Structure 1
Amino acid sequence: MHPLLKTIHEPHQLRALPESSLRQLADELREFTIDTVAKTGGHLGASLGVVELTVALHYVFDTPEDRLIWDVGHQSYPHKILTGRRERMATLRQRHGLSGFTNRSESPYDPFGAGHSSTSISAALGMAMASRRQGSDRHAIAVIGDGAMTAGMVFEALNNAGDHQKQVNLIVILNDNEMSISANVGAFSAYLSRIMSGRTYTRLKGGTGRMLGRISPPLLDAARKAEEHVKGLLTPGTLFEELGFDYFGPIDGHDFNQLLPTLRNVRELPGPILVHVVTKKGKGFMPAEKNPCTYHGVNPFDRRQGVTPARDVTPSYTQVFAETLVELGRADPRIMAITAAMPEGTGLNEFNEQFPDRCFDVGIAEQHAVTFAAGLACEGYIPVVAIYSTFLQRAYDQLIHDVVLQKLPVVFALDRAGIVGADGPTHAGAYDLTFLRAIPDLVVMAPADENELRHMLATAVAHGGPVALRYPRGSALNLPRESPRKLTVGEGRILREGREIALVALGQPVHVALRVAEKLAEDGIDVGVYDARFAKPLDEALLRQAAQAGLLLTLEENTLCGGFGAAVLEFLARDGLLDAGIKVRNIGLPDRFIPHGTQAELRAELELDAAGVLHTIHLLRM
C-alpha cells in the first residue's frame, strides 16, 4: 500500500523524484488521505481537492525556507502527510494528536497557524516584506479558496500588497473549487497562462517601451493601451491586475502539465502575483464529489458505504434552534435570518427553504453580516444572526458600534458556545460571555436544555433590543417539546432547594450541577441548584438567596476571566454579601487555550464534568 508515498518523509525527498512519478504519488496521497479521514473524521472534501496542488507546490518551491500558508487549514491534510507527519495522521484531531489545522508548534512547515479563514494573504505579505528587509529571496505563498475571498480582510491585504509592486516575493494561489473548466477554455487558458508567465512573454511585455522608444509619445501610449486592452479581453484577472498583481490563469489544479510550468515561471518573476487554480472539491472520491457539503467535515465512516446519516434521533441544539426559528418566522414576517457562509452549520438551510426571501448568506464576511443586520433592524425588521461563537469575535466592533450602541433589535444566536471538541482552540466558544457582558444594554442568556433554548429565542425576538443567545455544540436532552414562550428578562429559576451548598450554573453545566447535587444528597449534604439563565442582567434576588449557603460555586463553559462567575463575584462584593464570610469558587475554563479532543475528554480533563465538580467540592470541604 502506498509504496511511493512511504518513501517521502520530507519535501526534499519529493523534489528528488522525476516528474513522471508525481501522478502516482498524488494518487497514493489521495488514497491515504481518504483512509485517514475515514478513521479519524475531519475535513475531507477540501483536502482531496488540493492533492495535486500540494504536491506541485512542495515540488517547485523550497519549503520550509519558502513559506507556504494554507488559508483556514481545512485543506492541509495532504500537506501534513508530505511534511513529516504521515505516521501520526491516525491521531488527527484526537487528544494529544495532530491538529486539524495548520499549527506553528507542530511543524516548521506550518509557518502560520489558522482555523479562521481569509488571513493567509495578510500573513504572507508580512512574511514577504520581512524577507525583503532581511535581504532574502525566499517566497511567501498563500493558498486561499474562492469562498474565503469574500472577506473584507482579503481585499485589505490585496490593496496593501499592490502598493509594493515588484518589491515582494508574494504569490497568492486562488484555489477556485466552484468553477468548472470546459476542455476548450481550459486548454486555451492553460496555454495562455504558460505563455504569460514564461520568460518570452515577460521580455515581450517589458520590451514594448524599448521597441517603440524612438516613436512619438502618442503612438507609444496607444501601443501600451492596446496591449493592456488585449490582455484584459483574454484573461479574467483584470481586478487583480488593477490592484497591482500579475494574474495568471485559470489553470487546471489537477493537471501537473499545467501546474508545474506555471509555478516554475511565476517563481522567477517579481511579485505580487496571483495564480488562479481551478480544482474540484472531493476530487477522486465519488461520494465527496457528488456531495461536497456533506464531505466538508465528517465523522469517521466506512469507505465502502460512505457517510451515512446519524442513527441518533436526539436532536442537536442547532436543530432545535433551526426548527424554532422557522416556527417563529411563520408567526412574524419581520424575522430575518443571516449567516456568514454557514447555512448548514447553523441550521439556517431549513429557514431558507421556508422563507428564501428572508434568509441571507453574506459569505465569509462576519463584520458585514452584523452591520447588514443593523441596517435591517433600522427599518423595522428583526434580524437573527446565526453565527458560531468563535466567529462573532471577528465582528466585535460592529457588534458594539453598529448594533448595541444604537440599541437595535438584533438577535445573535451563538452556536458552538463552550467546548467544541475536535476543532480545537481556533473554534472553542470560550470567550463570548466575557466580551459580551462588557457591553452595556446587551442581554446575554444561555439555555440549560432545548426547551429553554426555544423560550429564549422567543424572548429574544420579542425583546426589542440587542440580545445574544449562546448554546452548545452537540445533542440536546431529547425532552418533550414545549411551545416557545417569552421569559422575563433577567429572571433565573431554582431547580433544587438547598442551604448547605449552592450551585449556580449557566447553560449546559446546569445539568452537571443537578447530577452533583443528587450525588451529594446520597451523603446527606443539602445542595441547592440555581439555573441563572441570564449572564446579563443577573437575577440579583436569586443570587441573594443562593448566597445564604456556606459554599457557593458558579459553573460555566466560558473562560473564568471576566465570565459569568466573575459577574457573580462582582455582584456579591458590590452587594456586601462577601462580608458575611461565604466561600465562593468559580468553575469554568482556565486561562489558557483549550486543546482539541472530544468534548467528554476535555470536560473530564478540565474537571467540568460531574466527577470533576464533586472533586472540587470535596477539596473545599476538607
Structure 2
Amino acid sequence: MAEGTGLDRFRTMYPDRFFDVGIAEEHAATFCGGLSSGGMLPVFAVYSTFMQRCFDQLLMDVALQGQSIVLGIDRAGLVGDDGPTHHGVFDVSLLSGIPDALVFSPAFIDELKPCLEKCIAHKGVSALRYPRGGEWQYDKASYSEKNGVYYADYGTPEVCIITYGRLTAECDKAARLCGRGVRVIRLLRILPPDTDTVYSLSKDMKYVLFAEEGIRNGGVGEKLTASLRKRGINADVAAIDGFAPHGTNADVLDTVGLSAKKLAEVLKNA
C-alpha cells in the first residue's frame, strides 16, 4: 500500500522507518501498539474504509494500554467512483468512541503540517483526516478565527451552518444561495469538538444546522448539536444515513442531502 497511501518516496528515503504489513489493518494497529510500548511513535497511514477493520485493536491494544498512535486517514469522506465500499464515512463515528481521541479534519493542504504536529504531541490515539483528490475551493480569506474555530458571515446572520473539512466549500455556497443572513462555522479539530466556542458563535442564531460528510450516528454533528440543544439552541444535523451510493461526489452529495443546493433549501426554510 506504499503507492496507494503516498508513502513510496518515504519508503525510499527512510527504509529503516517504513513497515509495509500488506492489507492487514488489524495486525498493523496491534503492531503500532507494540512499537509505541517500545518507545517509538508509529504513524499508521490507512484508508478510512479499511480503518474500520481495526477498531478493536485501536481500542484494546493501543488506547486501553496507554499507548500512542497517529492515524493518517486517507480517503476520508466520499470517494466518488471508487464506490460504496470505499466511502470514508464511518471513521469519525468509530473514533468518537475511543476515550481521549484527538482528530483533525483540515480543509486545506497548508493545514496538514500543523495538525500533524499536534497529533504527534498528543498522548493516545490521534488522527489526521484527508480526502481523496484536491482541495474544494472557497474564499478562506473571508473567514475569521476564534480559538481555532473559523467563521464567516454572509449578511447579518440569523441562521448558522457548521461543518468541517472540504464540505466547507459546499456550506459556503449554500450560505450565498439561500437568501438569508448566514454564519458559516468551520471546525478544524473535530474530536473533541470545542463546544464552548461554537456556542459563543451560534447562541444568537434562530437555527443551527450541522452538515457532516459522514454517518449521522455517533458523528460530530450528533454530539455537538446535542450539546447546543441542552443550552437552548434550535439545532439539527444534515448527515449520511445508511450506506452512501456509487456515483460522482457531486451526485452522491446531492443524493444524501449535502450539496450546496440541498443545504441552501434547509437554511432557507428553517
Same fold (TM over 0.5): yes
Q: Tell me which residue corresponds to 1:619.
A: 269
- Alignment partners' CA distance in 1, 2:250 and 2:66: 38
1:261-284 C-alpha deviation (Å, 9 max, x unpaired) = xxxxxxxxxxxxxxxxxxxxxxxx
| Residue identity opposite 1:473 in structure 2 | R
Alpha-carbon offset, residue 569 of structure 1: 2.1
Larger helix proportion of the pair: 1
Structure 1, residues 486-539: CA drift from partner, whole Å, max 9, x if none? xxxxx542321464111111211122222222334xx4x321121122222111
Question: Conserved in 2, the CA contact under 8 Å of 1:501 and 1:528?
Answer: yes
1:577 is aligned, of 221, 231, 234, to 231
Q: Could you say if the C-alpha distance between residues 366 and 557 of structure 1 is closer, same or farther in structure 2, counting changes exceeding 3 Å?
A: same
- Residue 597, structure 1, aligned to residue 247, structure 2: yes
Q: Would you say the 8 A contact 2:105–2:128 is kept in 1?
A: yes
How far apart are residue 567 of structure 1 and its match?
A: 0.9
The answer as to whether partners of 2:30 and 2:61 remain within 8 angstroms in 1 is yes
Q: Which residue of structure 2 aligns with residue 516 of structure 1?
A: 174
CA distance in 2, matches of 1:423, 1:514: 26
Q: In the alignment, which residue of structure 1 is the partner of 2:189?
A: 534
Contact 1:495 1:530 (C-alpha < 8 Å) held by counterparts = yes
Aligned counterpart in structure 2 of residue 500 of structure 1, from 151, 155, 158: 158
Q: Which letter maps to 1:352?
A: R
* Preserved CA contact (<8 Å) 2:228 2:235: no
Q: Deviations over 1:291-320 (max 9, x none)?
A: xxxxxxxxxxxxxxxxxxxxxxxxxxxxxx
SS in 1 for 2:183: strand
Residues 312-371 of structure 1, C-alpha deviations (whole Å, 9 max, x = no match): xxxxxxxxxxxxxxxxxxxxxxxxxxxxxx111111112112111111101121111011
SS at match of 2:81: coil
Among 223, 233, 237, the residue aligned to 1:567: 223
Give the TM-score normalised by the residue count of structure 2: 0.89
Which residue number corresponds to residue 544 of structure 1? 199
Task: Within 5 Å, give how 1:49-448 maps onto structure 2.
Answer: 342-448=1-107
Residues 127-172 of structure 1 show CA distances to partners (whole Å, capped at 9, x for unaligned) of xxxxxxxxxxxxxxxxxxxxxxxxxxxxxxxxxxxxxxxxxxxxxx
| SS class of match (1:475) | coil
Instruction: Give the match's secondary structure for 2:4.
Output: helix
Contact 1:587 1:608 in 2 (8 A): yes
Q: Deviations over 1:150-208 (max 9, x none)?
A: xxxxxxxxxxxxxxxxxxxxxxxxxxxxxxxxxxxxxxxxxxxxxxxxxxxxxxxxxxx
What is the aligned partner in structure 1 of residue 211 from structure 2?
A: 555
Compare CA radii of gyration and give the structure with the larger one.
Answer: 1
CA–CA separation in structure 2 for the residues paired with 1:510 and 1:400: 30
Aligned residues of 2:5 and 2:45 also touching (Cα < 8 A): yes
Deviations 1:244-269 (A, max 9, x none): xxxxxxxxxxxxxxxxxxxxxxxxxx
Partner of 1:87 in structure 2? Answer: none
Alignment size in residue pairs: 260
Aligned to 1:70: none
| Per-residue deviation, 1:421 | 1.5
Structure 1 unaligned residues grouped into runs of 5+:
1-341, 480-490
Determine the structure 1 residue equivalent to 2:141: none
Taking the aligned partners of 2:7 and 2:44, their CA distance within structure 1 comes to 10
Task: Determine if contact 1:555/1:565 at 8 Å carries over to the other structure.
Answer: yes
Q: Which amino acid aligns with 2:214?
A: N
Deviations 1:464-493 (A, max 9, x none): 3320222211112589xxxxxxxxxxx542
Per the alignment, residue 142 of structure 2 pairs with none
Paired residue for 2:120? 461
Counterpart of 1:586? 237
Give the aligned residue type for 2:188: R
**Does 2:102 correspond to 1:452?**
no
- Please say if residues 407 and 466 of structure 1, whose CA atoms lie closer than 8 Å, have aligned partners that are also in contact: no
The one-letter code sitting in structure 2 at the alignment partner of 1:448 is A
Q: Give distance in 2, aligned partners of 1:478 and 1:594.
A: 23
Structure with the bigger percentage of strand:
2
Q: Distance in 1 between matches of 2:211 and 2:50?
A: 24
Say whether the 8 Å CA contact 1:552–1:583 is kept in structure 2. Answer: yes
Contact 1:377 1:383 in 2 (8 A): yes
Q: What one-letter code is carried by the residue in structure 2 that aligns with 1:583?
A: N
Segments of structure 2 that go 5 or more residues without pairing to the other structure are 139-146
CA contact (8 A) 1:411 1:469 kept: yes
User: Normalized against structure 1, the TM-score is what?
Assistant: 0.40
Counterpart Cα distance in 1 of 2:170 and 2:73 = 21
Deviation track 1:374-402 (CA, whole Å, cap 9, x = no partner) reads: 11112222211000011011111100001
Which secondary structure does the structure 1 equivalent of 2:162 belong to?
A: strand
Find the residue that maps to 1:495 and give its secondary structure. Answer: strand
Q: How many Å separate the matches in 1 of 2:204 and 2:58? A: 37
> Contact conserved, 2:107 with 2:135, CA < 8 A, in 1?
no
Aligned to 1:473: 132
- Larger RCO (CA within 8 A; separation ≥ 6): 2
The CA distance in 1 between the partners of 2:151 and 2:13, in whole Å, is 37
**2: distance between equivalents of 1:577 and 1:395?**
36
For 1:389 and 1:349, the matched residues in 2 are separated by: 19
**d(CA) in 2 for partners of 1:426 and 1:343?**
20
Matching residue's letter, 2:119: A
Residues 407 and 465 in structure 1, CA contact (< 8 A), matched pair in contact too: yes
Paired residues of 1:370 and 1:385 also in contact (CA < 8 A)? yes
